[in-house]
Amino acid sequence: MTGGAGFIGSHLIDRLLAAGHDVVCVDNLVTGTMRNIDHLQGNPRFAFLRHDITAPLDVEVDEIYNLGCPASPIHYQRDPVQTMKTAVLGALNMLDLAKRLGVPILQASTSEVYGDPLVHPQPETYWGNVNPIGLRSCYDEGKRCAETLFFDYHRQHGVEIRIARIFNTYGPRLHHADGRVVSNFIVQALRGDPVTICGDGSQTRSFCFVSDMVDGLVRLMCAGDGVTGPVNFGNPREFTMRELAHVILRKTGSRSPIVYLPLPEDDPRQRRPDIARARSALGWNPSIELEDGAGETVGYFRRHLGLVGT
């Protein structure tokens, strides 16, 4: 599991260990944190390996989940060249490992491959509307290139691949300062600071709770070689940023004001997955509503950061 000390990766490790698997967590801890996996130390079926996947990796495993890459704008724009290297060279190194071992490999791709979409909701057949030279391009185009590599290794070398396009995901273990909208709003509200919305708040996102996302990834890995993907994973219920802010204010009990800031460059105006393929091929459908998932996520931030509402 590359990126196993990250947000989604650590939850996925918990799920795999609970199912009886042995797991090797590979992470360079640039954006991941040991806090996410501290509870696994001493588990005889868990091992941690500090490693940067831009360098080749030699381990013996029977399946590979490749989640290793910064995923929030603050993190991936901090060192865009390294982000691109992680997305592309990391994919190459993990594909080479899968090829040598003859094992299936799952790529954690992203809804960012759709860019600022001109088709709504976004099906997997949509090729996207991506700026190749913008501030977000290191991540967007890095993930698009990784998908290309996965399919080329599949066609040319017979590597058994799975590609998951992950839409906005939230839940416990989100990094409090990664710039993602759910964690931003929660931390601001708990601190009594203004809740900052970029743009006029009409842009939309769809929010999937992490346990639903993990279930989708496991189902995809277990689906067999007939389901290569790409497969969208996300909650198709759509919220404006204003609606999300009000949900968070209710869940925190905060009286923080809402303020509006300029919209960042290339920020998508709308984002909602078409999950028909996940439903039909995998029997997957998210079950956690935003009101419930937001409450659990707020509780996590209260406990782990010692934040109290105003």
Q: What is the mean pLDDT of residues 256-264?
A: 90
pLDDT in tens, 91-118: 999 999 999 999 999 999 999 999 999 9
- Does 260 qualify as catalytic in the annotation? no
User: Could you identify the residue written with the tokens 């078409």?
Assistant: 274
How confident is the model at residue 310, as a pLDDT? 43
**CA distance linking residue 186 with residue 169, whole number of Å:** 14
Contact of 90 with 66, CB cutoff 8 Å: yes
Question: Which of 65, 114, 139, 170 is the catalytic position?
Answer: 139
| Beta strands 46-50 and 23-27, pairing class | parallel
Strands (E), the chain: 23-27, 46-50, 64-66, 105-110, 161-166, 169-170, 195-198, 204-206, 208-209, 231-233, 238-240, 258-261
> Is residue 42 within a helix (H) or strand (E), and if so which, with residue range?
none
**CA distance linking residue 270 with residue 203, whole number of Å:** 5
Architecture label for domain 7-175+208-236+272-286: 3-Layer(aba) Sandwich (3.40)
How confident is the model at residue 210, as a pLDDT? 98
Give the whole-number percent of the chain exceeding pLDDT 90.
87
pLDDT in tens, 13-65: 999 999 999 999 999 999 999 999 999 999 999 999 999 999 999 999 999 99
What is the residue extent of each domain of the chain? 7-175+208-236+272-286
Q: Is the pLDDT of residue 268 over 90?
A: no
pLDDT in tens, 177-205: 887 899 999 999 999 999 999 889 999 99
Contact of 219 with 281, CB cutoff 8 Å: no
Query: Average pLDDT, whole number, for the chain?
Result: 94
Contact of 186 with 298, CB cutoff 8 Å: yes
308 — pLDDT class (breaks 50, 70, 90): low
**CA distance linking residue 168 with residue 205, whole number of Å:** 7
